[in-house]
């Protein structure tokens, strides 16, 4: 500061202008930072759609069919269908199904279910029973069950990968 | 030829102004102390060196020159990264093919890739060892100097270690092979185990819900621009702080423990209004690390050793790169998880903890990924960061190996390092399909690759 202003009002003004200048600079940098960071949050998702047609029910054998693209196991027991996610709830690896030598009849959430397989994860060794319940290893949750419907236009099975359902869910065909 | 020589040499006896270095290039062999001091300020590459250094600080067995090794590896990574930058295509359709071309088609491409890969692995090792050395010698402690802030330089160092790990991890994805894809799947899912914000953090990191083009370009830009830039800036700051803190902690230690002695009286000249007053400075008793018999000129003593370490590092990496091939697995396939799927080796101790720490209390489950992947490493990093403020040992125990009053903390630190190493070795060599434990002499069972 070269000279001390004699007038207190002019000192106030200088101080105000200095603070306003610094404030404007901080605001400008702050907003630019916010704008740059916000641009990194995607507005449009190019991920695969969550509602997927997975073929007519007739193509599904009794037992299990694995759909790699959807990372999904689809089970068929006569006319009823249910779908269990193949994504391990620990760290997202794809679990593998092992056929059991002897299918078991179990009651899951009040409904009877024929268990033909069990699942294990190759990454950290989590194990799941045939209804997706986590029994050992680091997996914190059971495997997700997804909602199944029939497409009204061409009668294909439709899975909604964004719609988790309880373990008593069944799609029964007429 | 003669004119060229004239351009780079000075005729003997040519008068020069004080402080002006007369030669366009700096000569390696300074002819006087004055020239040695001038060399430091007149050469761009040397301006970050002091003109004099404390001789014992240069000992091979004090610092093992691990910081210099790390810096040399960083330099090598930048240099070997440049040709890769021209040959690699960061797109999911072409990334794998461009790395494959690099490996099998481009002349010397395999060697450049191997140099880059091996330097990256060695840099993680060198930076970690550097941290271990600084901890064991208590070199983050302040000594005699005014305004020393060695603890802040330690914090900078911890941040630089994290940047090194993140740099390596982002580079891991770029070949877009199975190894890369699943290591990054596991790694980024650890982030999503953080309560509430986890899935958002993961989505921001990989630019969507699945590892796709958005992830590849994010990791690519982080790996090639943002992280090296940040590390470069921090490196410069780290070196500047070493200078401001008076060099290595060892100099302080010796200054504190040295006998005070009389400085030789020197003649003084004072300019007064009435003329020049001549006299003798008073004799003082003091210790000085700048005593002539304790110090050497940075040029050439420090420069020579730094050059030996740098060139030695380059040579070692070049030789290793000629003999150790870089792996390239099948192209990334989100549909098939390899069994077992392993994280990069420096994260395997975490993966091991992640596997072992899922805790069930009744129906309530604490996710092992959160405990082992977030809380535990977070706690360790937090402790490392604040340790200089918790360390209550005396100033004399800084700057030397295994001092008595730091015995307990050094032992605990070494125990933690040992546990990390054991977990790393188990993860690397003793984990087979489904992360089951196998001794090295046990055969892994045959597992069908696909269902």
Q: Where are the domains of chain B?
A: 46-257+300-435
Task: Tell me which residue of B145, B389, B138 sits closest to B252, measured CA to CA.
Answer: B145
Q: Report how far residue B367's alpha carbon sits from residue B193's, in angstroms, rounded to the nearest whole number.
A: 7
What pLDDT sits at residue B59? 93
Residue A157, helix vs strand vs coil: strand
Q: Are residues A115 and A152 in the same domain?
A: yes
Q: Are residues A140 and A168 in the same domain?
A: yes
Q: Are residues A129 and A153 in the same domain?
A: yes
Please give the structure tokens belonging to residue B22: 């007369």
Please give the structure tokens belonging to residue B355: 């596997």
Confirm whether A46 is domain-assigned: no
CB B355 within 8 A of CB B367: no
Please give the structure tokens belonging to residue B352: 């091991």
DSSP state of B387: H
The domain tally of chain A equals 2
What pLDDT sits at residue B450? 47
Instruction: Specify the CATH number for B46-257+300-435; select among 2.40.50.140, 3.30.310.10, 1.20.810.10, 3.40.50.300.
Output: 1.20.810.10
Residue B312 φ then ψ, to 5°: -60, -45
One digit per residue, the tens of pLDDT, for chain B of length 451 reads 556 655 556 666 666 666 565 666 665 677 787 777 777 777 777 777 888 888 889 999 999 999 999 999 999 999 999 999 999 999 999 999 999 999 999 999 999 999 999 999 999 999 999 999 999 999 999 987 788 899 999 999 999 999 999 999 999 999 999 988 988 888 888 888 788 888 888 888 888 888 889 999 999 999 999 999 999 999 999 999 998 888 898 888 887 877 666 666 667 777 777 677 777 766 666 666 666 778 888 888 899 999 999 999 999 999 999 999 999 989 988 878 887 888 888 988 888 887 776 666 666 666 777 887 888 899 999 999 999 999 988 888 888 898 888 999 999 999 999 999 999 999 899 988 878 888 888 888 776 554 4
User: How far is CA B3 from each of CA A20, B13, B26, rounded to the nearest angstrom?
Assistant: 60, 19, 18
Residue B184, helix vs strand vs coil: helix
Q: Report how far residue A142's alpha carbon sits from residue A166's, in angstroms, rounded to the nearest whole number.
A: 11
Q: Which residues in B lie closer than 8 A to residue A94 (C-beta atoms)?
A: 335-337
The alpha-helical segments, DSSP class H, found in B142-261 are: 150-173, 178-191, 198-206, 213-221, 227-244, 249-257
What pLDDT sits at residue B156? 97
Record: contact A123-B186, CB cut-off 8 A:
yes
Min Cα distance A112 → chain B (Å) is: 23
DSSP state of B397: G
CB B358 within 8 A of CB A137: yes
Report the CATH number that the domain containing residue A59 is assigned in CATH.
2.102.10.10
User: How far is CA B175 from each of CA B62, B184, B207, B330, B388, rounded to the nearest angstrom?
Assistant: 39, 12, 18, 10, 40
Q: Report how far residue B395's alpha carbon sits from residue B384's, in angstroms, rounded to the nearest whole number.
A: 19
Confirm whether A75 is domain-assigned: yes
Contact status of A139 with chain B (Cβ, < 8 Å):
yes
Q: Report how far residue B171's alpha carbon sits from residue A70's, in angstroms, rounded to the nearest whole number.
A: 28
Confirm whether A95 is domain-assigned: yes
| Backbone torsion region of residue B64, taken as left when φ is above 0, otherwise alpha when ψ lies between -120 and 50, otherwise beta | left
Q: Report how far residue B216's alpha carbon sits from residue B181's, in angstroms, rounded to the nearest whole number.
A: 10
Q: Which residues in A lie closer than 8 A to residue B208 (C-beta atoms)?
A: 42, 45-47
Task: Tell me which residue of B328, B322, B344 sits closest to B99, measured CA to CA.
Answer: B328
User: How far is CA B344 from each of CA A27, A50, A85, A102, B222, rounded to the nearest angstrom?
Assistant: 41, 31, 27, 39, 18
pTM value surpassing 0.80 = yes
CB atoms < 10 A from the CB of B347, how many? Answer: 23
Please give the structure tokens belonging to residue B94: 């072409």
Task: Tell me which residue of B120, B137, B116 sits closest to B64, measured CA to CA.
Answer: B137
Beta-bridged to residue A118, according to DSSP, are A98
Please give the structure tokens belonging to residue B298: 């940075």
Among A95, A140, A142, pick the best mutation site for testing chain B contact (most B Cβ within 10 A).
Answer: A140
Q: Are residues A16 and A101 in the same domain?
A: no
One digit per residue, the tens of pLDDT, for chain A of length 174 reads 455 556 777 888 999 999 999 999 999 999 999 998 888 888 887 778 889 999 999 889 888 899 988 889 999 988 899 999 999 888 888 898 888 888 888 888 888 888 889 998 888 888 899 889 888 888 888 999 999 999 998 889 999 998 899 988 889 887
User: How far is CA A142 from each of CA B335, B361, B450, rounded to the nearest angstrom?
Assistant: 20, 16, 23
Q: Are residues A59 and A100 in the same domain?
A: yes
Confirm whether A123 is domain-assigned: yes
Q: Are residues A108 and A37 in the same domain?
A: no
Q: In chain A, helix, strand, coil percent, each to 5? A: 20, 40, 40
What pLDDT sits at residue B25? 62
Please give the structure tokens belonging to residue B7: 């351009």
CB B444 within 8 A of CB B438: yes
What pLDDT sits at residue B7? 56
**Residue-range definition of the domain harbouring residue A107:** 51-172
Q: Which residues in B lie closer than 8 A to residue A66 (C-beta atoms)?
A: 451
Q: Could you tell me how many CB contacts below 8 A there are between chain A and chain B?
A: 95
- Radius of gyration, alpha carbons of chain B: 27
Residue B8 φ then ψ, to 5°: -105, -5
Closest residue to B355, CB basis, from A40, A94, A125: A125
DSSP state of A94: B
For tokens 């060599």, the residue is B429
Q: Are residues A167 and A81 in the same domain?
A: yes
Q: Are residues A14 and A87 in the same domain?
A: no
CB A169 within 8 A of CB A132: no
Record: contact A91-B186, CB cut-off 8 A:
yes
Q: Are residues A81 and A36 in the same domain?
A: no
- How many residues would you count in chain A? 174
Please give the structure tokens belonging to residue B204: 């921001």
User: How far is CA B293 from each of CA A155, B53, B54, B382, rounded to the nearest angstrom?
Assistant: 93, 11, 9, 42
Strands B275-280 and B267-272: antiparallel
Confirm whether A7 is domain-assigned: yes
Q: Are residues A32 and A67 in the same domain?
A: no
């Amino acid at each position: 500061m070269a000279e001390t202003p004699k007038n207190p009002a002019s000192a106030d003004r200088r101080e105000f202008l200095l603070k306003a200048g610094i404030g404007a600079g901080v605001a400008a940098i702050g907003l630019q930072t916010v704008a740059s960071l916000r641009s990194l949050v995607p507005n449009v998702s190019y991920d695969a759609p969550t509602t997927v047609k997975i073929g007519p029910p007739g193509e599904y054998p009794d037992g299990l069919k694995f759909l790699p693209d959807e990372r999904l196991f689809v089970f068929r027991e006569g006319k009823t269908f249910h779908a269990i996610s193949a994504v391990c709830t620990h760290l997202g690896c794809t679990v593998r199904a092992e056929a059991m030598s002897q299918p078991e009849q179990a009651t899951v959430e009040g409904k009877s279910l024929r268990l033909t397989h069990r699942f294990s994860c190759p990454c950290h060794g989590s194990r799941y029973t045939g209804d997706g319940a986590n029994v050992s290893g680091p997996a914190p949750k059971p495997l997700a069950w997804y909602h199944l419907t029939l497409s009204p236009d061409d009668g294909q099975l439709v899975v909604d990968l964004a719609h988790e359902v309880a373990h008593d869910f069944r799609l029964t065909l007429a | 030829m003669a004119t060229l020589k004239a351009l780079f040499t000075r005729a003997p006896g040519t008068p020069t102004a004080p402080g002006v270095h007369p030669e366009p290039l700096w000569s390696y062999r300074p002819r006087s102390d004055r020239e040695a001091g001038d060399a430091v300020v007149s050469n761009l590459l040397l301006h970050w060196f002091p003109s004099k250094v404390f001789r014992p600080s240069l000992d091979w067995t004090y610092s093992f020159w691990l910081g210099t090794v790390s810096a040399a590896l960083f330099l090598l990574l930048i240099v070997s990264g440049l040709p890769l930058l021209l040959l690699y295509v960061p797109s999911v359709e072409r990334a794998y093919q461009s790395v494959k071309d690099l490996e099998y088609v481009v002349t010397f491409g395999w060697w450049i890739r191997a140099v880059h890969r091996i330097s990256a692995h060695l840099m993680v090792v060198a930076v970690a060892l550097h941290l271990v050395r600084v901890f064991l010698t208590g070199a983050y402690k302040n000594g005699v100097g005014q305004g020393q802030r060695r603890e802040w330089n330690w914090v900078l160092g911890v941040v630089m270690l994290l940047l090194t790990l993140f740099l390596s991890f982002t580079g891991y994805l770029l070949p877009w092979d199975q190894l890369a894809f699943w290591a990054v799947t596991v790694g980024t899912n650890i982030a999503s185990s953080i309560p509430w914000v986890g899935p958002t953090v993961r989505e921001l990191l990989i630019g969507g819900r699945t590892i796709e083009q958005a992830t590849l370009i994010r990791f690519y830009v982080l790996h090639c621009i943002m992280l090296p830039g940040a590390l470069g800036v921090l490196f410069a700051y780290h070196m500047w702080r070493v200078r401001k803190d008076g060099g290595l902690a060892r100099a302080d230690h010796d200054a504190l423990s040295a006998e005070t002695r009389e400085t030789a009286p020197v003649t003084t000249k004072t300019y007064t209004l009435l003329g020049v007053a001549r006299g003798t400075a008073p004799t003082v008793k003091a210790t000085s690390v700048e005593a002539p018999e304790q110090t050497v000129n940075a040029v050439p003593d420090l420069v020579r050793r730094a050059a030996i370490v740098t060139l030695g590092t380059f040579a070692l990496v070049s030789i290793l790169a000629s003999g150790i091939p870089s792996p390239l697995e099948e192209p990334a396939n989100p549909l098939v998880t390899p069994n077992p799927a392993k994280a990069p080796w420096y994260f395997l101790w975490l993966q091991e903890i992640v596997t072992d720490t899922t805790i069930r209390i009744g129906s309530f489950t604490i996710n092992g990924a959160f405990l082992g992947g977030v809380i535990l490493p977070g706690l360790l990093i937090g402790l490392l960061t604040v340790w200089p403020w918790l360390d209550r040992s005396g100033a004399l125990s800084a700057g030397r190996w295994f001092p008595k009053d730091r015995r307990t903390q050094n032992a605990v630190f070494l125990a933690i390092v040992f546990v990390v190493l054991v977990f790393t070795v188990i993860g690397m060599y003793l984990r087979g399909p489904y992360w089951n434990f196998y001794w090295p002499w046990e055969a892994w069972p045959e597992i069908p690759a696909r269902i």
